[in-house]
Homo-oligomer: A and B are copies of this chain.
Amino acid sequence: MARVSDQPIRQRDAERTRAELLAVATEVFAESGYSGARVDEIAERTRTTKRMIYYYFGGKEQLYLAVLEEAYRGIREAERGLDVGELGPVEAMRRLAELTYDHHLEHQAFIRLVAIENIHRGEHIQRLQSLRDLGQPAMSLLDEILERGRVEGVFRDDVDAFDVHLIISAYCVFQVANQYTFGYLFSRDLHAPESRTHLRALIGDVVVSWLSRR
């Protein structure tokens, strides 16, 4: 998308201009990486000019920082929607794994941004104090499910939330982040419809059978 919305364009609207730059910048950085992204291209894809990037953000790097911060905040927002409350611990855990899988497939641009940031050894994210310990909400939910499972005697008691989160995240991120090389090396399309169904069930299966008492 080049325009953020089709509502009649007011001549002057600082908020709108800033938001549009941020949205387009998110796309472009996710597509091309930090070095690969071109300030001129970002500007061209908006209804405004390059000048505005410097007016609102200060420069390419600050724009990228704003993109990162906004992207992480959006994801945290989306994660709030996760709900597995009614289910028993085993099914809740399976559900959480599967929802996480879906969630990652739906936010590929975000995962690309994360991959890009890691290429840069996290030098930018470390400057965003607002993101410190952003992982806590996800951990709490996991913790609660794990605890219920332990109380009911269906889950082993030597695994903590962090480990579970790591396994699920790694699996789901990999599906998106490494789809091209992995798909090529094994001649498979991880995102073909049949594959998705199978791979979605797979992570639930792995987690549940790993955590279950035997």
Q: Residues of A with Cβ closer than 8 Å to B?
A: 32-36, 112, 114-119, 121-122, 125-126, 131-135, 139, 162-163, 166-167, 169-171, 173-175, 177-188, 199, 202, 205-206, 209-210, 212, 214
Centre residue among A35, A117, A169, A206 by max chain B CB count within 10 A:
A206
A187–B118 CB distance below 8 A: no
Where chain A touches its partner, the secondary structure class is helix
A167–B162 CB distance below 8 A: no
Chain B residue with the shortest CB-CB distance to A188 = B162
- Assembled-state Cα–Cα distance A179/B117 (Å): 10
- Assembled-state Cα–Cα distance A120/B205 (Å): 32
Residues of B within 8 A of A125 (CB): 180-181, 184
| Subset of 11 A-B contacts with CB under 8 Å | A115-B115, A115-B118, A115-B177, A117-B181, A125-B180, A162-B186, A162-B188, A163-B202, A166-B199, A173-B178, A209-B210
A133–B35 CB distance below 8 A: no
Chain B residue with the shortest CB-CB distance to A167 = B206
- Assembled-state Cα–Cα distance A117/B185 (Å): 13
Chain B residue with the shortest CB-CB distance to A123 = B180
Q: Which 5 A-B pairs have the closest CB atoms?
A: A122-B180, A170-B174, A35-B36, A35-B35, A135-B185
Residues of B within 8 A of A33 (CB): 33, 35-36, 119
B177–A133 CB distance below 8 A: no
* Given known A-B contacts A118-B115, A119-B112, A131 and B184 have beta carbons under 8 A apart: yes
B133–A185 CB distance below 8 A: yes
* Given known A-B contacts A170-B170, A174-B170, A210-B210, A180 and B121 have beta carbons under 8 A apart: yes
* Given known A-B contacts A133-B186, A167-B171, A187-B133, A122 and B206 have beta carbons under 8 A apart: no
- The minimal Cβ–Cβ distance linking A35 to chain B, given in whole angstroms, is 4
* Given known A-B contacts A210-B206, A210-B210, A184 and B36 have beta carbons under 8 A apart: no
Picked from B139, B166, B214, the residue with its CB within 8 Å of the CB of A209 is: B214
